[in-house]
Amino acid sequence: MSARLRPGPRLLPAAILVMTGLLGIKTADLALRLPEMRRSNDAGLLPLATPAHAARVTAEPFRAAADSAPQAPAAPSPSTAPTPATPEQRVAEATAAERAVLEELRARRAALDAREQALALRESVLAASEQRLAKRIEELEALQRRLEALDKAAREREEAGWRGLVRIYENMRPRDAARIFNELEMVTLVEVVDRMKERTAAPILAGMDPEKAKALTAELARRRAGGPRADAGG
């Protein structure tokens, strides 16, 4: 029991030695396989790891998570959002509206002017027609006055002729006048006797043929009553 214990073998140096041997083996194996790996990489069978590739491989899980996460509604694009009109645009729009109103007013004014001209032309035509009609009426009235004057003059001449004939028979003796009256046509006899005075015509009728005097009396009564005159004849 009194004897001193001998220390056991230490494990750390042995492990280091083993790891160094394994590293040397791996290094030798990698050196042997390196040309083959380069040829595979040139053929596109085994891509070499680059920093960009490593970053992309590292970022893939985060990108997938971001794609699967709910996205916020996209803000409206500046190109689609309505832009407020500038003062120049508002002035241009107002000017266009005013121009449209002015064009409409000008068209209405032209229509009114055309209608006014048509009415003025119609009034002038009517005025000319009225003037021609008034002139024609004046001419007809003047012609009527002339005809009436001519008719009056003719009646006066006719009446003057009958009066002269009546005076002739009134100045004759009744017996001589009665003999002539018996031969006169009834139309002429009525015109003469109707204009004679009663006291002058009575002795003449008394000296006439009774049938002739009777017919003359009937005709005078019909005439003074407004009846039709007797036809020419005895």
Indicate the pLDDT class of residue 173, thresholds 50, 70 and 90. very high
Q: Identify which has the larger pLDDT, 228 or 131.
A: 131
Instruction: Report pLDDT digits (tens) over 57-67.
Output: 444 544 544 45
Q: What was the pLDDT predicted at 214?
A: 93
Select the more confidently predicted residue: 173 or 33.
173
Q: How far apart are CA 218 and CA 214, in angstroms?
A: 6
**Domain boundaries in the chain?**
16-46, 89-153, 172-224
Sorting pLDDT into bands at 50, 70 and 90, what band is 127?
Answer: very high
Q: Which residues contact 182 (CB under 8 A, 6 or more apart)?
A: 208, 209, 212
pLDDT value for 98 = 84
Return the pLDDT at 79: 53
The pLDDT value given to residue 136: 93
So what's the pLDDT on residue 154? 94
Q: What does the block give as tokens for 211?
A: 């049938």
Over residues 71-77, the mean pLDDT reads 53
In whole numbers, what is the pLDDT of the chain averaged over residues? Answer: 76
Q: Is residue 76's pLDDT more than 80?
A: no
**Of 211 and 95, the one with more pLDDT:** 211
Mean of the pLDDT values across residues 202-221? 92
Burial of residue 27, with CB atoms counted within 10 A of its CB: 0-12 exposed, 13-18 middle, 19 or more buried: exposed
Dihedrals phi, psi of 3, to nearest 5 degrees = -70, 145
Joined tokens for residue 98: 């005013």
Q: Which of 71 and 119 is assigned the larger pLDDT?
A: 119
Radius of gyration over every alpha carbon of the chain, rounded to an integer in angstroms: 76
Tell me: the pLDDT tens digits for 34-50? 666 666 555 544 444 44
Residue 226 has what pLDDT? 77
Residue 56 and residue 196: Cα distance in Å, rounded? 158
d(CA 200, CA 193): 9
Is residue 146's pLDDT more than 60?
yes
What the block records as the tokens of 149 is 């004057």
Per-residue confidence band for 102, with pLDDT thresholds at 50, 70 and 90: confident
- According to the model, what pLDDT value does residue 67 have? 54
Query: Cα(5)–Cα(140) distance, rounded to whole angstroms?
Result: 179
